[in-house]
Structure 1
Amino acid sequence: MEQRDAAGYGGCAAAALGAATALYVWGSSGRTQRHLGAGFEGHGRDLSVLWTELPLVLLAGILIPPLTWLLTLRLLGRRGPLRYRALVAAVCTAGVFAAATWGLHTWANPHNPDHIRLSGALVSDLDE
């Protein structure tokens, strides 16, 4: 019963934190803002992201952290005290959570090749 409670509380907390973070990172990205009409006079407005990207981002945010938590606890089995297993699961979940958040941020904020620095000079400076 003790392990079931730890797994349940940790998984629920991870799911809530994952969903909130995924929604925040996706919603605050420049790409999403352009799709929702933050461009010049609403240019490039595409509200289809609300029913295509948003559910997938939320689903990934809800599922990835608790699945990592539960998989780590399952792999550890009954080795050692529960608090150490929970600590290892929390560290693994935090690592996967950070990697997933970084991946979402990288996908939602693509680099502009005109603003990539090459040895201190902008690419646009090299064209002149």
Structure 2
Amino acid sequence: MEQRDAAGYGGCAAAALGAVTALYVWGSSHRTGVHLGTGFEGQGRDLSVLWTELPLVLLAGTLVPPVSWLLTLRLLGGRARPRCRVLVAAVCTAGVLALSAWGLHAWSNPHDPDRVRLSGTVVSDLDP
């Protein structure tokens, strides 16, 4: 009974951590900042991201980690000791959370080949 509780709490903790991580990565991205009005004199302001992108990012961040947690526990079944199952599920969930955060970061900060960051400065082909 004790291991079932640990498995249940692990899924809830994964959901909360996934939602917080997704919100942080999405909110701190350059693209989201431009949409929320951090451009020059509010240029590029588009508040529709608050009801289009934000719910989808939170939903994905809330659902993906616990699904990986439960899927890992289900796949291991009775093949391993309960503590090992929980540990393997935690490692797999952390990996999935890291990959999904990286994917969200790559999506929300698209690569611009005209602008390359070198030690904190922005260099452009158009600069004199």
TM value normalised by structure 1? 0.89
Counterpart Cα distance in 1 of 2:17 and 2:27: 15
- Shift of residue 113, structure 1, vs aligned partner: 1.4
Residue 84 of structure 1 aligns with which residue?
84
- Provide structure 2 residue ranges, at least 5 long, that are not aligned to the other structure: 118-122
Counterpart Cα distance in 2 of 1:99 and 1:77: 24
Residue 11 of structure 1 aligns with which residue?
11
Counterpart Cα distance in 1 of 2:35 and 2:110: 14
Residue 98 of structure 1 aligns with which residue?
98
Over residues 67-95 of structure 1, what are the superposed CA-to-partner deviations in whole Å (9 max), with x where a residue is unaligned? 00000000000122111001110111111
- Provide structure 1 residue ranges, at least 5 long, that are not aligned to the other structure: none
Q: Does 1:45 align with 2:45?
A: yes
Counterpart Cα distance in 1 of 2:29 and 2:46: 15
The structure where helix makes up a greater share of residues is: 1
Percent identical residues: 75
CA gap of 1:123–1:39, structure 2 versus 1, over 3 A, is closer
Q: Does 1:108 align with 2:126?
A: no
- Shift of residue 6, structure 1, vs aligned partner: 1.9
Residue 55 of structure 1 aligns with which residue?
55
Instruction: Give me the CA root mean square deviation.
Output: 1.7
Counterpart Cα distance in 2 of 1:38 and 1:64: 30
- Shift of residue 115, structure 1, vs aligned partner: 2.1
Counterpart Cα distance in 1 of 2:12 and 2:76: 19
SS at match of 2:114: helix
Moved more, 22-31 or 1-10: 1-10
CA gap of 1:97–1:48, structure 2 versus 1, over 3 A, is same
CA contact (8 A) 1:113 1:123 kept: no
How many positions carry a matched residue from both structures? Answer: 122
CA contact (8 A) 2:15 2:63 kept: yes
CA contact (8 A) 2:3 2:83 kept: no
